[in-house]
Structure 1
Amino acid sequence: MSQALQNVGKTINQIGRIFGVLLVTTIALPGLSNANAQVRPSAPIVNPPLPSEQQPPIATLRPSNGLVGVKLINKTGADIAYQVIGDTQVRTLAGRATATLQALKTPANVTFYRRDRGFLLVSPQVPTTVPNTIELTLTETTDFAIDKTALSIDPDGDVYLN
């Protein structure tokens, strides 16, 4: 019986050594403890580029006390919906009509689209007599690639068309 007890004691001692080695290995080399663990690199923080970094301005206005104007000239036969974001509700500009938006605080964003969902060719012009106003002549086009629906004016007066 004592021989059997000695064998059990030796076995327990060997098991203890094995677990001790495993414990030290797990602490010293934690990556080996879970071979299936997936390491995820931290996601980079992506900030979208500013409009000025994406495209050059189509015009530059000279804001008067931070205010600018936008004149919409509808040369289409269709109604055009437009809105100054954060300033006006959606309004309708009838076909062959004109609307002037005055004293818009910069930055200003104006959206517009044809109610019949046709495409718009937008031709901008800054009158020399009114350097803080931009005129947008809106005409029909069938080319989706040149369709525009938004105007952005930054605080410095740079104008972007998208």
Structure 2
Amino acid sequence: MLYLVIGAGLLALLVSLGRAGSWSRMKGEGWRVAFGAGAIAVFSAAAFLGIRGAWGTSLVLLVVGLGLATAARGQRARPQARAPQVVSGLTAREARDILGVSEGASPEQIQAAYGRLIRMAHPDKGGTAGLAAQLNAARDRLLKR
């Protein structure tokens, strides 16, 4: 009976917070901590009741605990991927330094150096979009594309 009263009080608290728009008043990440602690308490009560044989109440508390745990995770703002900056004004010397080729390198040597470096620096292989953009700009500058 005590667990039902605690669950009803928790439900009333959540409804009142949602209705009053209090989510915005809770500063920082404090509400995540509160929901996480509430989820732990509800899971503990569900485990205790499950051990005692009250399976119905235990399942209800597990569902409530999952709801609290999900709410505690919340939606974090993910950083937006920025478009790689196109390197403009790249000199031939800078382009050769980026690709690691000599001054008299042939187009085949430039393309081979580019291929070797882009395989390591491609964003799909763990590299960054900025480094891949620099490699592309250096290749384009040396091959005059």
Query: TM-score, normalised to structure 2's length?
Result: 0.22
Greater share of residues in helix: 2
Greater share of residues in strand: 1
